Chain A
Amino acid sequence: MSDNKGDEKPVESKVDQEEKRVGVFVCECGVNIGGVVNTKAVAEYIGTLPGVKVTSVNKFTCSDSGQADIQAKIKEHNLNRVVVAACSPKTHEPTFRACIEEMGLNQYFLEFVNIRDHCSWIHMWEKEKATEKAKDLVRMGVERSKLLEPLQASEVPVIDKALVIGAGVAGMQSALDLADMGFQVYLVEKEPSIGGRMARFDKVFPTNDCSICILGPKMVEVARNKNIKIMSYSEVKAVDGYVGNFNVKIEHKPRYLDVAKCTGCAKCSEVCPVEVPYDFNEGFGTRKAIYVPFPQAVPLRAVLDMENCISCKACAKACESKAINYDMEPSYTDINVGVIVGAVGFKTYDPEPRHDFGYGLYDNVITAMEFERLLNAAGPTGGHVVRPSDCKEPIRVGFVNCVGSRDKNTNIYCSGVCCMVTIKNAQLLKEKRPETDQTIMYIDIRTPFRGYEESYNRSRNLGVKFLRGRPVEVKEDPVTKNIKVRVEDTLAGEMRNLEFDLMVLATGIVPNEGIGQIQQLLKLSKAADGLLMEAHPKLKPVDTTIDGVFLAGCASGPKDIPYAVSQGSACAGRATILLKNKKAITEGITAVVNPDVCVGCEVCIPMCPFQAISMDEKAGKANVMKALCKGCGTCVAACPTGALEQSHFKNNQILAQVKNVFKFQEVAA
C-alpha cells in the first residue's frame, strides 16, 4: 500500500519509511458534535483516504469504552498513527497520548483534531457546512499524522523550594501547607506586613467572628514556621527559567531601618511630627511618616515612608536600638524555586472617578471597606460608626449593593461577596446600636454557601430592611448633609424618596495593582475582567497554562475567605506533586539543527528569547541547547537555509495541513 498522492508528496518522509497505518476515531461527544456534524459521513469519507486503515465513531471517545476501542483497533489493525477528532487538544490531548502510549505507540504519534470547539459548537445552524468543514479538518489531521515523528518527553529536575507571591490569607495558607509538608517556602509580600485584606476587615461573615482574631494567630504561625522565609515589603522583579527551576529576583524595598535591630516599640512614631492619611484605615485618621503598619503586624517592625519624611531625624534620636538608617538602598535577593504560587489578591472598586452614587462629592457616602474600619474597635473611631461630615452617629443608614459589579459601565461580573458583606455590616451596626435603621438596596441577594442564607434571615429578623432597586438619583441636603435618594422599589412597583444620614456602597472586587506586572513576569493569561486565568475553569481551577505556576485567591476571580483558603491549600497540594516527585515532565517539542544544512549564518541566535542557541565555533554550526529551548519555533521560521526544524511542527508537517485545507477531492484523484 502506498500513501503516495502524487508529486505533491513531501520528500522529507525519507526519515521514516515505515508504511503508515492510520486509525481515525471520530467522537460524537454526546450531541455536542453528533448533533451538528454527521460523524458517520465524516468517518466514511475519511475511510477513503490513502493510509487510513480503520475509522470508528464513538459516542464518547474519551470514555473507558472509547479508549478501549482505540486500543483494540491499534492491536487489530496494527496501527502506527492515531487521529482523534473530538474536542480541544488543550484539555484532552494528554488523555489520548497516554491511551496510545499504553499500546506501545510513541505518544507523539497522536494527532488531535478539534471538531467541537472549532466546528460543531460554532456552526450549530449550518449542519451540512459543518460536516464538510469537519471532513476537511480531519483530512488535514490525517495527512499531518502520516508525517509525525517519534519524540521523547523530557524530564527536568524540580528544586524542592516554593515561592508564594502575596501573603494574604490564601498565600499564607499555601505557604503553611507547603512548609508543613517539609518544603522551604519564600513568602513575598509587597506591603510591610503580611495578612493582606483580611487583616483590615472588622468581622467576617457568616459567623461574624473577629477577623484579626482568627487571622492573627495564623500570621504568627507563618512567622514561627522554620520552613517559611517571609520577605515583607518586597516585590518580585524578574522571573526566569521554567518548571522545576525558576530564577526569581526579589527586590526588598528599603524600610530605612535595620529590621534585625527594630523591636516594633513604635517610640519613633510617637516623636515623628508628620501626619499622613492612614491607608490601613482606608484613609480615615492619620499615621506618622514612620510607623508600625498595625498592632498585629508580622513582622512587627516599623517602616519609614520616605516620601513624607521631612528628615528631622527625631526618630533616630528616639530609637533606643539605633535601628534607623536614612541611607538605605533597595536590596535584591536571587532565589531558585521549583514552583510558584501566585496569590496576588484584589482591591476594591474605586467609585471616586465616576462619583458613583455621589461618592467623592458628598461626605456621607462611604465604601463598605471604610465602613468596615469604622466598625472596627481598633479603627480610627474606636468602633463608633460616625458619619464623616459631622462625626455624629448616624441613625438612618442606606446600603447600596453591586457598586462596580453587575454593571455594564464598570464590571459586568458579580463580585460574589458584597451581598454578604452588606448583610453582615448592617447586622453588626444593628447589634451595636439597635436604634439604627438600615435599608439595603439590592439587585438580587446572593447567599449561596453554608450559613449565608441563615445570616440573611437573621438580618431580616433583626429588622434590616431590604429594598429591591437601585438608586436612580442621589443628592445631598446642603444643610444637614443627609443623603436623599430616589429609588424604585421594583417589588412594590413604586418610586420611593428616602433620606439617609449615611450611605454605604458595597464596592466590588477588581484586579489588584501590579497584577499586570505579575501576569507578564509569570507569562500568564489575563481574562476579559482583568483577573488572571486558570488552566481550566472547572477541572484545573488553581493550575495555569504555565507548568509549575499556580493561582490562589482573588487573583483568579472574586472569592470569599473559605474559598480563598481552600485554593491556597489546593495550590500547595498541586505544587507538592512536583516537589515530592522531584521531577517534571516537559514537552519534547524543541528546535533541532540539521548540521548538514546549517551554514552558520547566526540569524537564529538573536531570535531566541531564551538564549538557547549558541554557535559551535569548531564546527561553525548553530547548536540548540534542549534544556533551554521552549519550542516556540521562532528561530525555525527565521532560518534561511531550512537547517532548523521544530520537532512535531516540522515544515512538512505544517505544509501537509496547509495543502489539505482546500482540496476536498484531490486526494482521491
Chain B
Amino acid sequence: MSTEGTARTPKSEGWEPNILAFCCNWCSYAGADLAGVSRFQYPPTVKVLRVMCSSRVEPAFILKALKDGADGVLVAGCHIGDCHYIDGNKNAQVRINNTKKALEKLGFDKRLRLEWISASEGLRFSEVIRDFTEEIKRLGENPVKKIMEPQIKAPRVAPLEGASALAANIQGSEVK
C-alpha cells in the first residue's frame, strides 16, 4: 500500500499538484469543454491531453508521466455502454486497473485514476478534478521529483516573460 502519502507534505506554499488528464475525444473531452462553457471553475492543476478513445492510453504513457514528475494521472472515457467504439472503455478499464496494481507496489496507485465522464457531465468533470486535486494534495508531491530534481527544474510559480527571465529562473532553481 501507499505509505508515501502521509509521510510527505507539500514542499512549499506555492506547490500545486500537476495532473495530466487523458480524455477521450467523444465523451470526456466534450465534458471538459462543457465545464468550460458552463464556467464551472476548478483549480488550474490539470492539463487535458486528447486521445480518440480511453483505450488508446498505454501504461507506458502513464509511467512516463509519473516518471517525469506528474503528481497525478487521470484517464477519462465514456461511461460503460456509451463508448463511441463499442467497448474500448472496457479495454481501458482492464489496462488501467492492471497499471494501478503494478503501481501499488511502488506506492503510486493513488496517483492514477480512471473516471467515466460523459459529454453532458461538465459539472462532474470539474468535481472530479477538484476531488483528485485534493487527494493529490493529501498525498503530497510526486517523490520522483526529488530524485529527478537535476533534470526537472520546475519552479512553477513565478510568471515569466521572455527568454532572459527564463534563464534567470532556471539558474535560480538550480541553486536551490
The residues of A with any CB-CB pair to B shorter than 8 Å are 38, 41, 44-45, 48, 88-90, 114, 116-119, 121-126, 128-133, 135-137, 140, 519-520, 523, 525-528, 533, 545-546, 589, 607, 609-610, 630-634, 636-638, 646, 649, 651, 654-655, 657-659, 661-666, 668-669
Contact = CB atoms under 8 A, between A and B. Distances in A.
A236 to B, nearest CB: 16
If over half of B's interface residues share one DSSP class (helix, strand or loop), that class is named, otherwise mixed; here it is loop
Contacts of B153: 663, 665-666, 669
A668 B163 contact: yes
A128 B157 CA distance: 9
B66 to A, nearest CB: 10
Contacts of B33: 88, 90, 114, 117-118
B56 A649 contact: yes
B53 interface: yes
A654 to B, nearest CB: 6
A286 B99 CA distance: 61
13 contacts: A44-B161, A90-B30, A118-B47, A123-B44, A129-B16, A132-B159, A133-B47, A546-B84, A633-B56, A637-B58, A654-B49, A655-B61, A665-B153
B10 interface: no
B176 to A, nearest CB: 13
A634 B60 CA distance: 14
A632 B52 contact: yes
Interface in B149-176: 151-156, 159-163, 166-167, 169-170, 173
Interface of B: 16, 18, 20, 25-27, 29-30, 32-33, 35-37, 39-44, 47-53, 55-58, 60-61, 64-65, 68-70, 81-88, 91-92, 95, 118-121, 126, 151-156, 159-163, 166-167, 169-170, 173
B81 A638 contact: no
A124 B58 CA distance: 33
A669 B119 CA distance: 40
B49 to A, nearest CB: 5
A527 B56 contact: no
B49 A657 contact: yes
B18 A117 contact: no
B167 A130 contact: no
B56 A636 contact: yes
A658 B65 contact: yes
Contacts of A48: 162-163, 166
Given A632-B52, A634-B85, A637-B95, A663 B37 contact: no
A34 B144 CA distance: 36
B159 A128 contact: yes
B39 to A, nearest CB: 6
In this complex, which of B26, B47, B126, B173 has the most chain A Cβ atoms within 10 angstroms of its Cβ? B47
Contact of B120 (A88, A89, A124, A525): A525
B64 A655 contact: yes
Contact of B170 (A140, A630, A662, A665): A665
A41 B162 CA distance: 8
Contact of B40 (A122, A133, A520): A122
Nearest to B169: A665
Given A122-B41, A525-B30, A633-B56, A41 B119 contact: no
Contacts of B169: 665
A637 B120 contact: no
Given A525-B118, A533-B120, A646-B56, A654 B84 contact: no
Contacts of A646: 52, 56
Nearest to A130: B44
Contacts of B29: 90
Contacts of B68: 658-659, 661-663
A659 B64 contact: yes
Given A41-B161, A45-B160, A659-B64, A122 B47 contact: no
A260 to B, nearest CB: 38
A285 to B, nearest CB: 39
Contact of A658 (B32, B64, B163): B64
Contacts of B47: 118, 133, 136-137, 140, 661
Given A637-B58, A662-B68, A668-B163, A526 B48 contact: no
A637 B57 contact: yes
Given A121-B39, A132-B156, A663-B152, 14 more contacts: A45-B161, A48-B163, A114-B33, A118-B47, A119-B44, A525-B119, A609-B88, A633-B56, A634-B85, A634-B88, A658-B20, A664-B154, A668-B166, A668-B167
Nearest to B87: A609
A585 B32 CA distance: 27
B159 to A, nearest CB: 5
A661 B37 contact: no
A126 B44 contact: yes
Contact of B91 (A528, A638, A665): A638
Given A131-B159, A637-B57, A124 B70 contact: no
B36 A116 contact: yes
Contacts of B42: 122-123
List 7 A-B pairs, minimum CB-CB distance, nearest first: A117-B36, A633-B56, A634-B55, A609-B86, A632-B85, A632-B53, A121-B36
Max chain B CB contacts within 10 Å: which of A118, A659, A669? A118
A653 to B, nearest CB: 10
A523 B53 CA distance: 14
Contacts of B32: 117-118
Contacts of B152: 662-663, 666
